[in-house]
Amino acid sequence: MTIRSTTKKNWLLLLTLVGFTSLLATRYFAKDRIPEPKILERHQANQASFASVARRVDAVFEARWQKAGISPTRPADTHTVVRRLSLGLMGTVPSLEELRRLEKLPPELQLPWWIARLLEDRRTSDYLAERFARGFVGVGSGPFVVYRRHRFTEWLSDQFQQNRPYDQIVREMLTAEGLWTDTPQTNYVSAHALLDGQNETNAVALAGKTSRALLAMRLDCLECHDDFLGNIKLGSVSDPKGGEQIDFHRLAAFFGQTKITLAGVQDRPDAAPYRYKLLEDDDARVVEPDVPYDRHRLPTVGAPRTRLAQWVTHRDNRPFARAALNRLWATMFGRPLIEPIDDIPLLGPHPEELEILVNDFIAHDYDLQRAIRIIAATRVFQLSSAAEDSITDEHERLLAVFPLTRLRPEQVARSLIQATSLETIDARANILRRLELFGSENDFIERYGDFGEDEFVTRGETVTQRLLMMNGDLVRRRIDENLFAPNRIAMVSPSAEKTAEALYLVCFTRYPTVEEQQHVAERLNRSKNERRTTIQDYFWALLNSAEFGWSH
């Protein structure tokens, strides 16, 4: 009886082991580890349409280059463009596994395939949501704000993942009622609550945020006084007028009767209307909701926030589309077309390339994925950042060279973690890897420092950041420990040539040049008995280099 029972247990153990191993094998060796993007076929069908808009954008830039008498840099190679797209849309470099999969495709299919993969990958919608959410709900601290922003970002990511039209997303944000937990889009309002114990809606903050993030207009100065410097032009081209204090507070008044109650964000038509004491007044007065320009498009009936949402997302309200595309352009290029990102003059002049993109965006129902495809297909996006001849201010100003921008903290952290892992750390990666990514990334960013809301402003590197990359714990662990890429490359690469290839692909998303191949070979030959430490040291140099730390 005892022998039979033990045998039975052994069989069970064996079966469990076999089952577990098979599961792991399926997980790691399955053919669809990097599956074929489902939207590729549909996007391919529209390729000509994307290309035709991209060519019109290119023509604008080319005319400018010709007029200025400058030549653009040569086109970047496919791998460089793949890295740019990955950093801009997904916030990390591609994995070696992904690059190997990509290389199996015919060259002409590689970029469309990669964009389709990126657009289907949850990492992209998460990352884009983080970028847009910074503009929508800021980066304020405090437990309520952090939680509400987190819920809002998750919701936004879902919308991007489904490729919902951008105008619909914004309408929901502006009008949603309910609890911030089960209706996360309400956090556009509740993340700006006054945290003074009353939990009141902050109508002034919402007016400022709505004008900057959704219309790319900085009306904030008007909160306190009329514009006496001539910086804020409202009205129309034929009948311009200076911004007045009342314009700002009329916009704030749309949120004046929105309250935060136990039932969440609610519109209360019975609540006291918005009141404000203007600079010239002796007492506060009731301010009626109104919009700062094109008043004829404001619906006359409906709840205040609904009227505002309909006006903001009206198809003829071009500032709304301009604001979205300027932010999308900044996400992909590292800097916006018009700087600062949230200050596009209402009455122009507006760059012709932006207007071409705006026309297409509106005509195709605010399709963000299409806009991404078009921008990615332009010649300016695919130019090299390098030149044999000197690059002038004109080259940079006219985008005749791809701009150099420092990676944001989360891009550095994610790229560092991805580069030191041969497998892809995406939603399909095992849970332990994803948890490790999450923890390591948060610790790293806390020490590295967040860029805050002004993330597209050019800024310098700090000594703290440099020291963290040189001597920090995350870099040390990812280089030293056996699990990670440097040591795995040291173990499995059969030759110096293959070693150099793997090192440059995982860190820089490109193959090494002949000179670089020779350098790595010499280093390995010089220290034959210390192959592992040589590779670790070289990996450290790659991670600390300008090529790794900058988008280019």
Partner 1 sequence: MSIYIPNTPECHHPVHLDRRTMLRLAGLSGLSWLTPLATGLARAAERQRQRQAKSLILLWLEGAPSQLETFDPHPGSEIAYGSKARTTSVPGVLIGEGFEQLAEQMHHIALLRAITSEEGDHARATYYIKTGFRPQPTIVHPAIGAVICHQFQAADSNSVDIPRHVSILPGEHPGRGGYLGDNFDAFKIGDPVARVPDLLPTVPTTRQQQRLQDLAFVNGEFLRKRQRPSQAANPVGTATLDAALRMMTSAQIDAFDVSKVPASDRLKYGDTPFGRGCLAAFRLIQAGVRCVEITLGGWDTHVDNHNLQAQRIQILDPAFSSLIADLRAHDLLDSTIVLCGGEFGRTPWLNPLGGRDHWPYGFSLALAGGGIVGGRVIGETNPAPKKDNKDRLADLKNPHPLPDIHATIFHLLGIDFTEELITPIGRPMPIAEGKPIRALFE
3-state DSSP call for residue 214? helix
In the complex, the smallest distance separating the C-beta of residue 240 from partner 1, rounded to whole angstroms, is 22
CA dihedral 26, 31, 33, 34 (to 10 degrees): 180
Contact call for residue 200 and partner 1 (CB under 8 A): no
Bridge partners, 551 (sequence order): 405
* 274 vs 456, beta carbon nearer partner 1: 456
Scan for tokens 């004109």, then name that residue.
Answer: 394
CB 406 within 8 A of CB 459: yes
In the complex, the smallest distance separating the C-beta of residue 552 from partner 1, rounded to whole angstroms, is 7
Contact call for residue 172 and partner 1 (CB under 8 A): no
* 139 vs 362, beta carbon nearer partner 1: 139
Distance of alpha carbon 274 from alpha carbon 264, whole angstroms: 20
In the complex, the smallest distance separating the C-beta of residue 320 from partner 1, rounded to whole angstroms, is 19
**What distances in angstroms separate CA 33 from CA 37, 101, 249, 435, one per listed residue?**
12, 10, 54, 19
Question: How many residues at the interface with partner 1, by CB under 8 A?
Answer: 64
In the complex, the smallest distance separating the C-beta of residue 400 from partner 1, rounded to whole angstroms, is 12
* 117 vs 408, beta carbon nearer partner 1: 408
Burial of 163 (0-12, 13-18, 19+ CB in 10 A): middle
Contact call for residue 525 and partner 1 (CB under 8 A): no
In the complex, the smallest distance separating the C-beta of residue 263 from partner 1, rounded to whole angstroms, is 26
Contact call for residue 334 and partner 1 (CB under 8 A): no
In the complex, the smallest distance separating the C-beta of residue 462 from partner 1, rounded to whole angstroms, is 5
Residue 275: φ, ψ to 5°: -125, 145
Maximum separation of any 2 CA atoms in the chain, in Å: 99
Distance of alpha carbon 514 from alpha carbon 511, whole angstroms: 9
Please identify which residue in 459, 483, 492, 498 interacts with partner 1, judged by CB under 8 A. 459
* Contacting partner 1 within 10-69 (CB under 8 A): none
Distance of alpha carbon 238 from alpha carbon 293, whole angstroms: 13
3-state DSSP call for residue 521? helix
The total of other beta-carbon atoms located within 10 Å of residue 406's CB is 18
Distance of alpha carbon 127 from alpha carbon 118, whole angstroms: 11
* Contacting partner 1 within 381-440 (CB under 8 A): 385-388, 390-393, 396, 404, 406
Bridge partners, 458 (sequence order): none
Contact call for residue 460 and partner 1 (CB under 8 A): yes
In the complex, the smallest distance separating the C-beta of residue 507 from partner 1, rounded to whole angstroms, is 9
* 37 vs 72, beta carbon nearer partner 1: 72
Query: How many contiguous H segments (helices) and E segments (strands) does the chain have?
Result: 27, 8
Contact call for residue 179 and partner 1 (CB under 8 A): no
Joined together, the tokens standing for residue 519 give 């350098």
Distance of alpha carbon 261 from alpha carbon 258, whole angstroms: 10
Contact call for residue 533 and partner 1 (CB under 8 A): yes
Contact call for residue 212 and partner 1 (CB under 8 A): yes
Please identify which residue in 5, 141, 162, 198 interacts with partner 1, judged by CB under 8 A. 141
* Contacting partner 1 within 217-256 (CB under 8 A): 218, 220
Q: What is the DSSP string of 19-37?
A: HHHHHHHHHHH-GGGSPPP
Contact call for residue 463 and partner 1 (CB under 8 A): yes
Taking alpha carbons only, the member of 255, 362, 366, 249 closest to residue 306 is 255
The helix (run of H) or strand (run of E) holding residue 264 is strand 264-267
The total of other beta-carbon atoms located within 10 Å of residue 143's CB is 8
3-state DSSP call for residue 341? coil
Contact range with partner 1 by CB under 8 A, out of 6-14, 148-156, 288-296, 540-548: 540-548
In the complex, the smallest distance separating the C-beta of residue 339 from partner 1, rounded to whole angstroms, is 6
Contact range with partner 1 by CB under 8 A, out of 54-62, 322-330, 336-344, 354-362: 336-344
The helix (run of H) or strand (run of E) holding residue 241 is strand 240-242
Taking alpha carbons only, the member of 68, 59, 84 closest to residue 404 is 84
In the complex, the smallest distance separating the C-beta of residue 298 from partner 1, rounded to whole angstroms, is 24
Contact call for residue 540 and partner 1 (CB under 8 A): yes
Contact call for residue 472 and partner 1 (CB under 8 A): yes
Annotate each residue in 76-105 with x if it binds partner 1 (CB under 8 A) or - if it does not, as one string: ------------------------------
Q: How close are the terminal C-alpha atoms of the chain, in Å?
A: 71
* 138 vs 242, beta carbon nearer partner 1: 138
Contact range with partner 1 by CB under 8 A, out of 4-12, 158-166, 324-332, 539-547: 539-547
Contact call for residue 292 and partner 1 (CB under 8 A): no
Contact call for residue 467 and partner 1 (CB under 8 A): yes
3-state DSSP call for residue 334? coil
Scan for tokens 């390591």, then name that residue.
Answer: 440
In the complex, the smallest distance separating the C-beta of residue 123 from partner 1, rounded to whole angstroms, is 26
Contact range with partner 1 by CB under 8 A, out of 255-263, 284-292, 340-348, 369-377: 340-348
Bridge partners, 383 (sequence order): 75
Contact call for residue 466 and partner 1 (CB under 8 A): yes
Please identify which residue in 97, 172, 244, 339 interacts with partner 1, judged by CB under 8 A. 339
Contact call for residue 532 and partner 1 (CB under 8 A): no
Residues that bind partner 1 (CB under 8 A): 140-142, 195-196, 208-209, 212, 218, 220, 339-340, 342-343, 385-388, 390-393, 396, 404, 406, 447, 449, 452, 454, 457-468, 470-472, 475-476, 480, 513, 515, 519, 523, 533, 537-538, 540-542, 544-547, 549-550, 552
